[in-house]
Amino acid sequence: MRIILGVCGSISAYKSLDIARELFKKGHQVRVVLTKGSEKFVRPEVFRYLGCEEVYLAGDDFIYPAEKNDLEGTVLHVTLAKWCDRVVVAPLSANFLAKIVRGEAFDLLSSLLLALPANIELLFFPAMNTEMLSNPFTIENLKLLNNLSQKFSLFVHPTSSGLLACGDKGEGKLASVEEIVEITDCFKEVKNPKSILISTGATKAPLDSVRYLTNRSSGLTGYYLAKEALKLGHKVVLIAGEESTSKLNLLINIPNIKIIYVKTNSQMKDAVESSFKEADCYISSAAIGDIEFDIKNQKIKKSDLSDSLMITKASDILKGILEIRRPDQKVVGFAAETDLSESLMQEKQSRKPVDLLVGTKVNNGLTGGELQGFATDRGQYLFLENNQFLRAELNKEELAALIIGKVLS
């Protein structure tokens, strides 16, 4: 993807170096446009060392194309607007905000914004002192900017709270580099998006007020599935076990995603069933517990423990969903198994006829053998679709791309 990184005059401009570097590492083509204020905080040459194709200063519009003629065209701000797929302004200063909401074209970056085609995604990440952020002028300017999202593919990220460079504590911090990069990587708006429901992570089966049974599922599969769907512009409802990967927090501010955290099997069941009606596709990637106990409200004392525990089968969420699905809804099931065989997959498919069954080999690493499937980035998978099998070893990003590609084809 071709990305313009706009950098304004804020003390947090130094973080734009890390943003540029991480975007380059993800395989994006990055060109940087500095405002006059940001030129006081960062050196243009450093961006080139970090992998950026080119860096432009605020006044470079006036020396193009004689000295910067590496692109076709004669007007730099127009040429760059046609070149890019996405514009990210990080940090967005109060001064630059106040001018662009009035449609001013006073430097290369502001002129570029006015020349952008309407279909180009435009992401803003504000950063400023708390008092500046809470000033009525700034509040009104942010409202004006947000209102433009009705006419453009535009997103304004909220600031973070903490210790500011000036020594004050409060709102106004630039979002983390990791969050900016993740959102830049997967923010997309399209007409008529699909609605994708995903469950991920582990549920817990409480035994008493202290103990519970669970597994080592990290929720990484659901995280990558959500990212892949968001990249294509679709809407996501992600229902996650409460101890799922903290990476989910990187997606929480994206407009097209809703994340619901649950603890138990019954909470997962309620959340999935209440969201399924509006979904075009349900991907059941959660490691949902299939055992429940007769829960005690107090801790069971050692003296009261016997050699066995009474257990019951937990609700089969996927089976229940298949009973109420409409013909136009697709369902993807997961089978976590220590023995991943074709006969086992066929037996599961006969009981729960999903559109795609994804078998994954798992081992918690506690009873012998290496850790597999859980909390790891790579896994061994067996796919069953239309009575055809496919074996593959994939990382979870590759797995997500394969699944989303199949269900949305």
Return d(Cα 287, Cα 374) in angstroms, integer: 9
Give strand ranges (E) for 263-373: 281-284, 291-293, 311-313, 330-337, 356-361
239 closest CA partner among 198, 205, 282, 273: 198
Cα–Cα distance measured from residue 180 to residue 90, given in angstroms and rounded to the nearest whole number:
8
| CA distance linking residue 68 with residue 76, whole number of Å | 9
Q: Please confirm, yes or no, whether 166 is among the known catalytic residues.
A: yes
Question: Interior CA angle at 157 toward 123 and 36, to 5°?
Answer: 60
Give CA–CA dist 400/60, Å, rounded: 42
Pick the catalytic residue: 8, 52, 166, 186? Answer: 166
Could you please report the per-residue DSSP string of 66-135? TS--SSS-S-HHHHHHHH-SEEEEEEEPHHHHHHHTTT---SHHHHHHHH--TTSEEEEEE---HHHHHS
C-beta atoms surrounding 75 within 10 Å: 14
Q: In what order do the strands lie in the sheet with 29-34?
A: 54-56, 29-34, 2-7, 86-92, 121-126, 154-156
Burial class (CB in 10 A: 0-12, 13-18, 19+), 119: exposed
Question: How far lies 238's CA from each of 198, 249, 275, 378, 404, in Å?
Answer: 5, 12, 10, 21, 14
Which residues touch 284 (CB under 8 Å, ≥6 apart)?
199, 272, 317, 318, 321, 331, 332, 333, 334, 354
CB 304 within 8 Å of CB 327? no
Residues belonging to the active site? 166
